[in-house]
Structure 1
């Protein structure tokens, strides 16, 4: 017995010695070559903190918008699918953690009967026939009745199992960050859709007001036509200008319904009317606007973090593929009962069975499969690092572009407001001069057309500025956490 057990203890000692070995490369974060600050207008450079850490409930000030976002986070199909993806990754992580434990299998009842014929090289088992003469054709050669417990345990010598666990953990964390990225995009898309809806509401008010103004002008032109002071051409051109403004109303009503349906689709609901809150002003807490640093962007933006976890998973996958090319050590054993005759199945101690084994196996020639798998995993890791660098570059550019848009849209807004004020004054003066005979009807309808265009443009700039605030919030990684 001692002679048999010594090699097994030698194997255990070898196992403990080799378990300290680990192949592959530890993950090290790449150098992102980040600038010290974003490219932005001077007015934002002295800001402190970062917008990304502002709760989205504090960032938006419209209760109707907040209700829409709440509904979207609860019912959006992409969000629900992302949560299931996280659960799948969590199950896979639990499976990877269990890889460090042995496998135990119980065979509750097993029967093995083998028959041979006279041309077989051996004879029937004597205990089965108990001295009786066996058939020459299809005699029972072997009979087994067994119940046992089998144990198999692979020792993680080269870090293969730990690499699998690291890969599963990184995949789980990447799925969580993917869900956060979906949430930031969802919040931004709902906010942009809602702001577009408010813009359309404001534009349809402008169009209807302009139609009323054109009706008043047309009545004035009719009076002068009846008095013989102008020709029918003036009435026709004035009516044409009125029809242009009137045709905008059904177009905008169409866009409003389509935008409402699109917003409700994001919230997982069927088409219906959407309750509005405030107008296109004071919808965002602009006092919270501050850029932070590009380094804080790397730490907070979900898609960057997702890309990094994918790189960590690819690095672990590469290490796992490399470990598969090295020897593997498996310990095992069995304990139970085994008898040739069914009546002796549980005859203890006569039917007792016990075994212990240890296998140290080394792949030698696998048709280059293991080497190819390792080389492919190494290239996949390089691709994951390129994807991470690309995501970081895109993120920094998006933040810089958002700051540029905000700065330039402020200038456009000042000019657009001045243009609207000037257009309204021009309409007022044109009507007064026309009534006094110092202006033609063409000057009146031209002034009204310019006023319509200017007001429409002003509303669009206000909406674009709100979208830029939202895009800045999203690009900085804001909106994925309710509490900070």
Structure 2
């Protein structure tokens, strides 16, 4: 009966049946590829305006092209930036992200090549008696005069290989996506450098501003101390009363309290700057006279299209958009059939003593596997929809990055214009308030002004000087922010 069963099996698996089966498989594969969804048309990117709204002229010079050493003409600041570029932890982290992205590129390149592994395999097989293999083994000699054993050992050493043929460019698109993300990580590192240069500069000028504020407060304390001593003498001479002494002393104590607050602010500013430099708190040597950084009358900002090539965050966003586009192609290729070739070459035997008996133990195989998704298409469709949504999100993110960059430049240009006007007005105001101190003092000595007018003059002069420094600091910050907004600092 077993023999008849084997003969029937042979008639069923004749060449015509195999051809029919293979043709059916190809038809199913072709049918699965006919229902591949189309890539949705994405929204067009808004064009960048030809000029900035605060700048009618199209400047050919763009400060973003200047190296930060040229833009910040301060050797002390340049030394701090150098230290930050070497030790800042955020920047060091960005370098590691680049290495991870580079590893992703190498991994994607490996998918395009066959995998070859060397090794060995051992096993033990027992075929059922009422099977084709079991029935054949029961009547076959494995060696002369010895039948195939029921428990058949299987030993193999050699090479095994597998290779997916990239018919639909799925693997090449994966590689291109990995390359785009690697380049985006490089631009991300450049954007970290841009922000780091700006942050160190901002912290540096913040520290210089605090130093100058401290000098003004200490000068004011000296003036108030002298006024306090005078009013005490006048009280003894009955030319003033106790209320005036108390008011002058209270004002002096308030200024001394402000001095302590500034000392604390200086400590915190130094610590923050040291953090940017990647080191523990330590004194920062500096020249406070460098605070009066010359603000150029005109700053070249080029045209808005320059931002697309100068700002690393815009280029990184563009590269991420390119990566998501190839991701959609990869997800779409999953609907098509895949062809995987597997093969092996080595030595195979049922006993170690025959393993190296060549050519009898030589074994090899080559198998092609063509498969197309049919049942699990819903999962593939979900991945494709997710890839398309990620592409649209990347497009919106790219557009938003450009829009934010344009607005940032506009804001800083307007800020610089208004701060110049404010600085001129504050300079004139401070000069008047400073002169009012001596004027009120003279009038008070001659009895033509009250002590309250003297106190008010001193208080207004102090506030005016602090406001002037604050305006100067804001000008410096606006210059730094404009440099950052235009994409300077990373070159």
What is the TM-score when the length of structure 1 is the normalising length? 0.88
Using the TM superposition, give the Cα deviation of residue 478 of structure 1 relative to its aligned residue in structure 2, in angstroms. 0.5
Give yes or no for contact 1:331–1:358 (8 Å, CA) kept in 2.
yes
Give yes or no for contact 2:208–2:291 (8 Å, CA) kept in 1.
no
**2-structure distance, mates of 1:157, 1:224:** 101
Show the counterpart of 2:122.
111
Q: 1:206 aligns with which of 216, 230, 239?
A: 216
Give yes or no for contact 2:210–2:266 (8 Å, CA) kept in 1.
yes
Show the counterpart of 1:76.
88
Q: Secondary structure of the equivalent of 1:286?
A: coil
Using the TM superposition, give the Cα deviation of residue 477 of structure 1 relative to its aligned residue in structure 2, in angstroms. 0.7
Give yes or no for contact 1:113–1:140 (8 Å, CA) kept in 2.
no
Q: 2:110 aligns with which of 83, 89, 98?
A: 98
Show the counterpart of 1:50.
62
Q: 1:435 aligns with which of 428, 431, 445?
A: 445
Using the TM superposition, give the Cα deviation of residue 296 of structure 1 relative to its aligned residue in structure 2, in angstroms. 0.6
**2-structure distance, mates of 1:380, 1:295:** 26
Show the counterpart of 1:272.
282
After superposition, the Cα gap between the structure-2 partners of 1:28 and 1:308, relative to the gap in structure 1 and judged at 3 Å, is farther
Using the TM superposition, give the Cα deviation of residue 106 of structure 1 relative to its aligned residue in structure 2, in angstroms. 2.0
**1-structure distance, mates of 2:58, 2:245:** 58
Show the counterpart of 1:459.
469
Using the TM superposition, give the Cα deviation of residue 329 of structure 1 relative to its aligned residue in structure 2, in angstroms. 1.8
**1-structure distance, mates of 2:423, 2:275:** 32
1:408 aligns with 2:418: yes
1:33 aligns with 2:43: no
**2-structure distance, mates of 1:284, 1:368:** 65
- What aligned pairs does 1:156-175 form with structure 2 within 5 A after superposition? 156-175=166-185
**1-structure distance, mates of 2:448, 2:174:** 87
Using the TM superposition, give the Cα deviation of residue 357 of structure 1 relative to its aligned residue in structure 2, in angstroms. 2.6
1:377 aligns with 2:406: no
**2-structure distance, mates of 1:451, 1:285:** 25
Q: Deviations over 1:302-337 (max 9, x none)?
A: 111111111111111111011011011223332222
Using the TM superposition, give the Cα deviation of residue 23 of structure 1 relative to its aligned residue in structure 2, in angstroms. 10
Using the TM superposition, give the Cα deviation of residue 36 of structure 1 relative to its aligned residue in structure 2, in angstroms. 1.1
Show the counterpart of 1:216.
226
After superposition, the Cα gap between the structure-2 partners of 1:115 and 1:46, relative to the gap in structure 1 and judged at 3 Å, is closer
**1-structure distance, mates of 2:218, 2:478:** 28
1:447 aligns with 2:461: no
After superposition, the Cα gap between the structure-2 partners of 1:173 and 1:33, relative to the gap in structure 1 and judged at 3 Å, is same
**1-structure distance, mates of 2:73, 2:490:** 18
Q: Secondary structure of the equivalent of 2:121?
A: strand
**1-structure distance, mates of 2:43, 2:209:** 44
Show the counterpart of 2:100.
88
After superposition, the Cα gap between the structure-2 partners of 1:355 and 1:33, relative to the gap in structure 1 and judged at 3 Å, is same
Using the TM superposition, give the Cα deviation of residue 34 of structure 1 relative to its aligned residue in structure 2, in angstroms. 1.0
1:61 aligns with 2:73: yes
CA RMSD after TM alignment = 2.7
After superposition, the Cα gap between the structure-2 partners of 1:447 and 1:154, relative to the gap in structure 1 and judged at 3 Å, is same
Give yes or no for contact 1:23–1:319 (8 Å, CA) kept in 2.
no
Q: Gaps spanning 5+ residues in structure 1: where?
A: 8-13
Q: 1:344 aligns with which of 345, 354, 357?
A: 354
Using the TM superposition, give the Cα deviation of residue 101 of structure 1 relative to its aligned residue in structure 2, in angstroms. 1.5
Q: Secondary structure of the equivalent of 2:375?
A: coil
After superposition, the Cα gap between the structure-2 partners of 1:261 and 1:308, relative to the gap in structure 1 and judged at 3 Å, is same
Show the counterpart of 1:10.
none
After superposition, the Cα gap between the structure-2 partners of 1:238 and 1:244, relative to the gap in structure 1 and judged at 3 Å, is same
Q: Deviations over 1:163-219 (max 9, x none)?
A: 101110011011111111111111111111111111110111111000100111112
Show the counterpart of 1:387.
397
User: Which is worse superposed, 70-79 or 428-437?
Assistant: 428-437
User: Which is worse superposed, 405-414 or 45-54?
Assistant: 45-54
Using the TM superposition, give the Cα deviation of residue 26 of structure 1 relative to its aligned residue in structure 2, in angstroms. 12
Show the counterpart of 1:11.
none
**2-structure distance, mates of 1:119, 1:326:** 39
Give yes or no for contact 1:61–1:284 (8 Å, CA) kept in 2.
no
Q: Secondary structure of the equivalent of 2:151?
A: strand
**2-structure distance, mates of 1:59, 1:184:** 13
Using the TM superposition, give the Cα deviation of residue 133 of structure 1 relative to its aligned residue in structure 2, in angstroms. 7.8
